[in-house]
Amino acid sequence: MNVRLNAPEDRHAPQRILMAPGPSNVHPRVIQALIEPLVGHKDPSFLAAMEDTAALLREVFQTRNRATFALPATGGSGMEAALVNVLEPGDTVVVANAGFFAQRMVDICTRLTGVNVVVVPGAWGEPVARDAVLSAIRQHRPRALAIVHGETSTGVEQPLEGLAAECHAQDALLVVDAVATLGGVRLPVDEWEIDVCFSGSQKCLSAPPGMAPITISDRAMRAIEARHTPVASWYFDLRLHARLWDTDHSYHHTSPVLSVYALREALRLVVEEGVDARIARHCLHAMALGQGIEALGLQQFACQGFRMPSVVTALTPAGVSARAVRKLLLDSLNVEISVGLGERSDGMWRIGVMGHSAQQANVMLVLTGLEQALRCVGLTPGGSGARAAAEVYEHTRL
Amino acid sequence: MNVRLNAPEDRHAPQRILMAPGPSNVHPRVIQALIEPLVGHKDPSFLAAMEDTAALLREVFQTRNRATFALPATGGSGMEAALVNVLEPGDTVVVANAGFFAQRMVDICTRLTGVNVVVVPGAWGEPVARDAVLSAIRQHRPRALAIVHGETSTGVEQPLEGLAAECHAQDALLVVDAVATLGGVRLPVDEWEIDVCFSGSQKCLSAPPGMAPITISDRAMRAIEARHTPVASWYFDLRLHARLWDTDHSYHHTSPVLSVYALREALRLVVEEGVDARIARHCLHAMALGQGIEALGLQQFACQGFRMPSVVTALTPAGVSARAVRKLLLDSLNVEISVGLGERSDGMWRIGVMGHSAQQANVMLVLTGLEQALRCVGLTPGGSGARAAAEVYEHTRL
């Protein structure tokens, strides 16, 4: 061929330990699922696979919502689908904003014609103040409150309990971004009365990136059906997806069949482990990593009491480039961690503790790598990160 | 686990010969590519893979457009992305409509606030009249002409040559749906001066379903940059995708890494075969299938002279259910063909001749299966479909 390529055919991808906040490593069973024979999107065996995927998603979302499925696009698409279906011209939306992904919600809402966007701001590294959110709901009586459960850019877990009551009292819907939390952080959708909750396949669920699980309450579905204007997006019209995934399976798009196989297997692994046990596992490894990071003399970015168990964030010491350390871990240990998003991008690390990647060996390797990197740039770590983590592991029983 | 599933863990997907109009069967090398190690979306090795994928796509689209990449969603997303970026409130769009997928273009445009949609209708089974299209462009001077190159619902190939000249004379953009044609039907994007051209991964390219290749001319990119209003969709904002795929690789979404691996390998296969040779192969097998179908006494649905080489359509004889025959072929031969879309759904078959599925053995099997099915329902085929196809193969040299 004439095309000049970076990688000749015989070059393979490197084998990485994925400790960024997604994608996480996939379990061998998920890889095997990916190479099941490809069938048509109307094949009876595939329709059965879709139904199983939906049933497993209900278990993981802890919901009975009939409209529970996975969108054929990456995690961010769930956010767009949720907002574009719930909002229409003339509506007000309240967005709780203390991070990069909440800002994306604002961006998406701002693009929608005739939607009034009310932002309740918060400091990065902290949750948005509950009272400010509640009072905005009472004051603006919006169509929806949009809020991020686990803000991947800061490592903060936003408390959600009790928000629904105020939303529903004001006839507003509660829309929750659970991209970085579903399957790794406690999130009982029905108990918390969340109306639209979306996630990504490649984080705590450890399926390959490319699908966006979503669940929609009956209340939200009724609101969508009562719209006065059509949903601006055909691709993300949730009613069309609900019909495709539901019993009549009417055609909307050609399902990404192999991605659904992979997601189904990843969900089976979640359900076999048990949602609660999996969450406990995420908490344990996040605690060990957090302790280790502090033992190294580093400061966690997310404030105490609101640290999410699936993403640990830490500030870089003065004079250290987060990017250079990321590169060092990638090149020397094949371990991937992330730098910050937005303004602080080179001033902090974001380390994922997600799904199949959330293992003791991986946590120890990250801590060892960070220690080595700090020495490389001439700093003396405060203490041994690995030893501090080991102590957590010794004293905690899952 | 407590969830009740259709398929216990040890149940595998059936091995099908995919002769519907997508997905087509994937080459073993594409399957191998899928299980390359998963890396992060910012991994240097993955950024190199994206660049290679874009270079290969340029070769297959036959374009030098810098903005050439694959959207992280299924084929239909290319249509939405094209239209939502090109059109804004106050614009007029002309849609040439003679099939299900052209009607989808109308549906998408109608959802866009303040866009005036002018439909140039045509009969299903025929191309839209060129004169009617040209005169609509002259009369309405639209922002864009949207037209389907290969209408999968009818099997008709719409001639595109010369349309760009009239579009550009009226300052309109030419938007082309090549979902069912890219990689199987002649489509020189630059030579035909197409401004936005999109496709799907799972048809003539024979990658798994889930990605939408797209290419955007500099003229179209300038028009998008000159918009007065933001693109209504964040997920499909083409400028954000162009930036992610281009040299600065700035973050927009978590790329579906494994799907990109698979697409890249599928594109390598296209380029190794040669785009022209691949098109000739599609033509040969479509001709053999078409001759075979007529020998069976069936009538092709697409009118002569405009039959696309990647989808062959045929009317069912009176009293025969297209669905029942589809089921028979699926159950007895593991061969998948499709029924119609829309009103004629049970009255016609649509048979794909696409990518890795476009092989002599598969064509013969479809014809044998159809013959068997006709006898099953008590009809006597006019003659031997397989023999007629064999004659085509004997007398044609690729």
Contact B72 A73 (CB under 8 A): yes
For A211-265, how does the pLDDT look when each residue is reduced to its tens digit (9 = 90+)?
A: 999 999 999 999 999 999 999 999 999 999 999 998 789 999 999 999 999 999 9
Nearest to B14 among A2, A37, A341 (CB): A37
The residue behind tokens 């790329």 is: B255
Contact B16 A39 (CB under 8 A): yes
Whether the predicted pLDDT of A1 surpasses 70:
no
Nearest-neighbour CA in chain B from A278: distance (Å): 14
**Residue A167 near residue A173 (C-beta atoms within 8 A):** yes
Cα–Cα distance measured from residue B181 to residue B191, given in angstroms and rounded to the nearest whole number: 16
Q: Which among A5, A203, A13 is positioned nearest to B52, based on CA atoms?
A: A5
Contact B5 A56 (CB under 8 A): yes
* pLDDT given at position B342: 84
Contacting residues of A for B117, CB less than 8 Å apart:
none
Q: How many residues does chain A have?
A: 398
CATH number of A28-271: 3.40.640.10
Contact B18 A2 (CB under 8 A): no
Contact A107 B25 (CB under 8 A): no
Contact A51 B6 (CB under 8 A): yes
Nearest-neighbour CA in chain A from B90: distance (Å): 13
Three-class DSSP labels, chain A: CCCCCCCCCCCCCCCCEECCCCCCCCCHHHHHHHCCCCCCCCCHHHHHHHHHHHHHHHHHHCCCCCEEEEECECHHHHHHHHHHHHCCCCCEEEEEECCHHHHHHHHHHHHCCCCEEEEEECCCCCCCCHHHHHHHHHHHCCCEEEEECEECCCCEECCCCCHHHHHHHCCCEEEEECCCCCCCCCCCCCCCCCCEEECCCCCCCCCCCCCEEEEECHHHHHHHHCCCCCCCCCCCCHHHHHHHHCCCCCCCCCCCHHHHHHHHHHHHHHHHHCHHHHHHHHHHHHHHHHHHHHHCCCCECCCCCCECCCEEEEECCCCCCHHHHHHHHHHHHCEECEECCHHHCCCEEEEECCHHHCCHHHHHHHHHHHHHHHHHCCCCCCCCHHHHHHHHHHHCCC
Per-residue confidence band for A43, with pLDDT thresholds at 50, 70 and 90: very high
Cα–Cα distance measured from residue B178 to residue B198, given in angstroms and rounded to the nearest whole number: 6
* pLDDT given at position A342: 83
Per-residue confidence band for B9, with pLDDT thresholds at 50, 70 and 90: low
Cα–Cα distance measured from residue A302 to residue A154, given in angstroms and rounded to the nearest whole number: 6
Contact B235 A73 (CB under 8 A): yes
* pLDDT given at position A248: 84
Whether the predicted pLDDT of B334 surpasses 70:
yes
Cα–Cα distance measured from residue A252 to residue B74, given in angstroms and rounded to the nearest whole number: 10
Contacting residues of B for A236, CB less than 8 Å apart:
235
Per-residue confidence band for B10, with pLDDT thresholds at 50, 70 and 90: low
Q: B168-171 contacts: CB < 8 A, separation 24 or more?
A: B168/B193, B168/B219, B170/B137, B170/B138, B170/B141, B170/B142, B171/B141
Q: Which among A199, A223, A189, A212 is positioned nearest to A86, based on CA atoms?
A: A223
Contacting residues of A for B75, CB less than 8 Å apart:
253-254
Cβ-proximal residues to A332 (8 Å cutoff; 6+ apart), any chain: A369, A372
Contacting residues of A for B39, CB less than 8 Å apart:
13-14, 16, 18, 336
Nearest-neighbour CA in chain B from A45: distance (Å): 7
Contacting residues of B for A108, CB less than 8 Å apart:
234
Q: What average pLDDT does the segment A174-178 reach?
A: 98
* pLDDT given at position B396: 86
Contact A231 B111 (CB under 8 A): yes
Q: What average pLDDT does the segment A267-281 reach?
A: 98
For B378-398, how does the pLDDT look when each residue is reduced to its tens digit (9 = 90+)?
A: 899 888 999 999 999 999 876
Q: What average pLDDT does the segment B7-14 reach?
A: 79
Q: What average pLDDT does the segment B113-140 reach?
A: 98
Nearest to A43 among B6, B12, B16 (CB): B16
Nearest to B80 among A15, A104, A233 (CB): A233
Contacting residues of B for A16, CB less than 8 Å apart:
37-40, 43
In terms of Cβ atoms closer than 10 Å to its own Cβ (0-12, 13-18, 19+), residue A107 is middle
Q: Which among B2, B81, B55 is positioned nearest to B241, based on CA atoms?
A: B81
Q: How far is CA B368 from the centre of its chain?
A: 26
For B258-281, how does the pLDDT look when each residue is reduced to its tens digit (9 = 90+)?
A: 999 999 999 999 999 999 999 999
User: Residue B300 pairs with which residues in a beta bridge?
Assistant: B314
Per-residue confidence band for A189, with pLDDT thresholds at 50, 70 and 90: very high
Per-residue confidence band for A344, with pLDDT thresholds at 50, 70 and 90: confident
Peptide bond into B188 cis (omega under 30): no
The residue behind tokens 């969340």 is: A194
Nearest-neighbour CA in chain A from B327: distance (Å): 10
Per-residue confidence band for B86, with pLDDT thresholds at 50, 70 and 90: very high
Find the radius of gyration of the CA atoms of chain B.
21
**Residue A389 near residue A288 (C-beta atoms within 8 A):** yes
**Average pLDDT over all residues of chain A:** 96
**Residue A239 near residue A225 (C-beta atoms within 8 A):** yes
Nearest-neighbour CA in chain B from A15: distance (Å): 6
Contact B234 A111 (CB under 8 A): yes
Cα–Cα distance measured from residue A195 to residue A172, given in angstroms and rounded to the nearest whole number: 9
Nearest-neighbour CA in chain A from B194: distance (Å): 22
Q: Which among B369, B363, B364 is positioned nearest to B326, based on CA atoms?
A: B369
DSSP helix/strand/coil, B300:
strand
DSSP helix/strand/coil, B344:
helix
**Residue B296 near residue B369 (C-beta atoms within 8 A):** no
Q: What average pLDDT does the segment A150-160 reach?
A: 98
Cβ-proximal residues to A274 (8 Å cutoff; 6+ apart), any chain: none
* pLDDT given at position A10: 63
A179-A262-A85 Cα angle (round to 5): 40
Closest residue on chain A to B40 (Cα): A23
Q: What average pLDDT does the segment B42-69 reach?
A: 97
Angle formed by the axes of helices A275-295 and A360-376, to 10°? 20
Contact B9 A256 (CB under 8 A): no
CB pairs below 8 Å between A and B: how many? 251
Q: What average pLDDT does the segment A133-142 reach?
A: 98
The residue behind tokens 């949750």 is: A127
* pLDDT given at position B366: 98
* pLDDT given at position A369: 97
Cα–Cα distance measured from residue B361 to residue B257, given in angstroms and rounded to the nearest whole number: 33
Nearest to A6 among B48, B72, B272 (CB): B48
* pLDDT given at position A132: 98
Whether the predicted pLDDT of B2 surpasses 80:
no
User: Residue A17 pairs with which residues in a beta bridge?
Assistant: A335
* pLDDT given at position B40: 97
Contact B3 A209 (CB under 8 A): no
In terms of Cβ atoms closer than 10 Å to its own Cβ (0-12, 13-18, 19+), residue B398 is exposed
Cα–Cα distance measured from residue B290 to residue B309, given in angstroms and rounded to the nearest whole number: 10
Contacting residues of A for B251, CB less than 8 Å apart:
341
Cα–Cα distance measured from residue A328 to residue A330, given in angstroms and rounded to the nearest whole number: 5
Does the ipTM surpass 0.90? yes
The secondary element (H helix, E strand) that includes residue B52 is helix B44-61
Q: What average pLDDT does the segment B334-345 reach?
A: 92
Break chain B into its structural domains and give their ranges. 28-271, 275-395
Nearest-neighbour CA in chain B from A272: distance (Å): 6
Nearest-neighbour CA in chain A from B177: distance (Å): 15
* CATH architecture for the domain at A275-395: Alpha-Beta Complex (3.90)
Closest residue on chain B to A107 (Cα): B234
Q: How many CA atoms lie within 13 A of B77 on its CB side?
A: 28
Cα–Cα distance measured from residue B266 to residue B278, given in angstroms and rounded to the nearest whole number: 13
Whether the predicted pLDDT of A8 surpasses 90:
no
DSSP helix/strand/coil, B104:
helix
* pLDDT given at position A9: 66
Cα–Cα distance measured from residue A216 to residue B177, given in angstroms and rounded to the nearest whole number: 32
Per-residue confidence band for B1, with pLDDT thresholds at 50, 70 and 90: low
**Residue A205 near residue A199 (C-beta atoms within 8 A):** yes
